[in-house]
Amino acid sequence: MPTITTIFAYSFLLTISCGFPLSVFGQTSETAIVQQAVQLQQETPADTRIMDYFEQMKANPTDSAIHVKLGDIYYERALYELAINSYRHALELQPKTASAHLGLSQVFRKKKLRALELVEMEAAVADAPEDPALLLKLGVLYMEPEHFDYKKAKKQYEALKKLQSPLAAQLGGKMGLVD
């Protein structure tokens, strides 16, 4: 299991390698990252996946997919600040990464930052406009009271129909559309 120093060092190096101090990342603060790193160290049993990804990161630090996977693991463990940091670093390395935007959207939903949740989901769809699952998620967000916009939801519905996705019926059902 990594030590707190190791975890903090990797998180810190990830952030610094972007060329930005931690405070630039809005929702991410040094204190929150350190607290989550301590929490990660204290949890048992050890999650070897994190160390595996750290090793992969050392071998290929510019692979955005590794940072996304690490963000996903942090998200699963409710280490949201570390997840945000990993997803944002992935986007620094590869700006058009739908999976990083999706991860950020999910984190912001958990943190009840609804406006940021929507912005990131819209960015995910912009990066992968042919992904039916993302189109559905965005359409569903548009139907929620916080983001309600029927016209935008219908646009997602039409895109799903154009792709001939069975998910169109699911979104259509939420919208009250009958085919």
Asked if pLDDT for residue 106 goes beyond 90, the answer is yes
Q: Angle at which helices 150-162 and 167-175 pack, to 10 degrees?
A: 160
Q: What is the tens place of the pLDDT at every residue in 29-77?
A: 666 666 666 666 655 445 677 888 888 888 898 999 999 999 999 999 9
What's the burial of 23, exposed, middle or buried (CB within 10 Å: 0-12/13-18/19+)? Answer: exposed
At 178, the pLDDT band (50, 70, 90 cuts) reads low
Domain regions of the chain by residue span: 4-125, 129-179
Contacts of 8 by beta carbon, 8 Å cutoff, 6+ apart: 33, 34, 37
Query: Which one-letter DSSP state was computed for residue 62?
Result: T
Say which residue the tokens 């692979």 belong to.
Answer: 63
- What's the Cα-to-Cα distance from 63 to each of 60, 81, 86, 115, rounded to whole Å? 6, 20, 12, 29
Strands (E) in 46-88, as ranges, are none
Q: Residues 86, 37: contact at Cβ < 8 Å?
A: no
pLDDT on residue 32: 66
pLDDT on residue 179: 57
In CATH, the number for domain 4-125 is: 1.25.40.10
- What's the Cα-to-Cα distance from 46 to each of 49, 51, 72, 77, 91, rounded to whole Å? 9, 9, 16, 12, 28
Please name which of 55, 121, 54 lies closest in space to residue 82, comparing C-alpha atoms: 54
pLDDT on residue 54: 82
Q: What is the tens place of the pLDDT at every residue in 129-165?
A: 999 999 999 999 999 999 999 999 999 999 999 999 9
